[in-house]
Amino acid sequence: MIKFFRKIRQNLLMENKTGKYFKYAIGEIVLVVIGILIALQINNWNEEHKINNIRTQKLSQIESDLRADVISLEEGILIKEKEIATLNNYRDRLAQSNASIDTLDKIVNTEFLGRIRIGFSGFNNITYNSMVQSGELGILPDDLVKDLSNLNIRQQNSENSHNDHWEIYLKQAQSFEANYPAKGKPHIIGDGPLSDYLREHRDDKKFIVAFNEVFIAKRLLYTQNLGHHKYILEITKAILKNHFAE
């Protein structure tokens, strides 16, 4: 009987030790899990801090690009408006009742050819394009990304339009200068007797038609470019107002 009770007591002691061991093991597991969660949280904080720093840097660069575009666009618009006014002046002079072939000769020889001033060197979109290529656009607010994407499309359309109209004007201008070289302009026959002979024996009707073609091409180059840049300036200012502090 005594042996029986001793055995029961030993079993109870063993069960008590086992229970303590399980409690200790569970505590260890809980501590490990908590440690892992804390480490993950710290890592998330570090990553978020890193992303926030990159976002702040990129936003600053984009704002700087946009503000530079505003300045450049405003200056370019003024130049194009002056050039269009000059072209309109040519048109008005040639439309007067006393206009003659000498009037056109004066414009061609001293004013028109070789005068191209666009006043715009290109858009400052390096930051945006680099973020597109690197996949970093996702760190920016969705509404800003949408507005920048729309702006970029307008910029590309403007550049494509400019390139197309520039090619048309360049071909017209080169053809006109080849057939009707202006005085004082560098060309193979110079301002010698052959140049005089070419002007004396030209077909004035064809000369007028050719000038009209190159004039239209040049004016279209300016007016199309001006229209695009005015619209892009409006969009750029709206983005700065809506997404960046003044």
**Alpha-helix residue ranges (DSSP H) falling in 96-141:** 101-107, 126-134
Q: Would you state the pLDDT for residue 13?
A: 46
**Has residue 242 got a pLDDT over 90?**
yes
Range of the domain at 218: 2-243
Q: What is the per-residue pLDDT across 174-229, written as a single tens digit (0 to 9) for each? A: 898 888 887 766 666 666 777 778 778 889 999 999 999 999 999 999 999 999 99
**Based on the structure, what is the number of domains in the chain?**
1
Q: Identify residue 37 by its one-letter amino acid code.
A: L
Copy the structure tokens of residue 121: 């060197």
In whole angstroms, give the CA distance from residue 69 to residue 9.
89
Per-residue model confidence as pLDDT tens digits over 45-63: 766 767 788 888 999 999 9
